[in-house]
């Protein structure tokens, strides 16, 4: 009996979306991927598309929390670390030997509003609203140029950044609404028109479907190797 190990981790990035499978397939075809841009947080996707309509950042975050989109402490989402972990997985798939500490991450709140300085209750009651003015100014600035703000990861060579980025309204990421995830993959074949993967990037059903697909895939591999 052969000694081997197999691992599947599709749901670590886009729940049920075939993000890792698509990246792996493109690379396996011999088509080098130049960069990946993606909105990998359903929570932040929802928040940024809602503030685009003129709603207050604090009100949108509280609404997202009431809908069950955020963690119990929304700062777990607003810190950007969840997106950074997903970006790290994709960067390593592309062969980049980087660690989480190598990723430039933009948090949507300052350190003085962080968990080490303020309780969750205090943040929700007073700290969150103090962020409204800055976010509104950035949204208006982007809009004046015909752009929108999205919280995205950008992976290009050894460079990996996570944070707010101005994007054209008519781009796949610019058209993003609600809690969907969107990933744009650029390569030699997909140079001018990227491979776009879009759909529900969170939720019990979609995540369970992704995990089940990995289990079935592993079962097939075991049968082939037995």
Residues marked as catalytic = 86
Residue 87: name the closest of 38, 45, 47, 42 by CA. 38
Q: How many CB atoms lie within 10 A of CB 62?
A: 16
Contact 61, 70 (CB under 8 A): yes
Neighbour-count burial for 209-222, b at 16+ CB within 10 Å, e otherwise: bbbebbeeeeeeee
Cα–Cα distance between 39 and 34 in angstroms, integer?
A: 17
Token pair belonging to 209:
């479907």
- CA contacts within 13 A on the Cβ side of 206: 18
């Amino acid at each position: 009996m052969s000694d081997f190990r197999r691992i599947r981790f599709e749901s670590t990035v886009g729940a049920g979306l075939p993000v890792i499978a698509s990246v792996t397939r493109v690379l396996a075809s011999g088509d080098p991927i130049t960069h990946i841009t993606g909105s990998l947080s359903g929570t932040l996707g929802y928040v940024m598309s809602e503030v685009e309509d003129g709603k207050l950042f604090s009100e949108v975050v509280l609404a997202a929390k009431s809908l069950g989109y955020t963690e119990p402490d929304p700062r777990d989402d607003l810190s950007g670390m969840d997106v950074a972990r997903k970006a790290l997985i994709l960067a390593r798939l592309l062969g980049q030997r980087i660690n989480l500490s190598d990723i430039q991450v933009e948090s949507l709140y300052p350190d003085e509003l962080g968990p080490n300085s303020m309780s969750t209750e205090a943040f929700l009651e007073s700290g969150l609203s103090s962020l409204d003015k800055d976010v509104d100014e950035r949204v208006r600035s982007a809009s004046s140029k015909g752009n929108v703000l999205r919280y995205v990861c950008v992976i290009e060579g050894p460079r990996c950044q996570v944070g707010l980025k101005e994007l054209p309204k008519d781009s796949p990421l610019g058209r993003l609404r609600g809690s969907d995830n969107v990933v744009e993959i650029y390569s030699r074949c997909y140079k001018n028109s990227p491979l776009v993967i879009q759909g529900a990037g969170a939720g019990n059903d979609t995540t369970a479907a992704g995990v089940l697909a990995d289990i079935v895939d592993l079962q097939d591999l075991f049968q082939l190797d037995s």
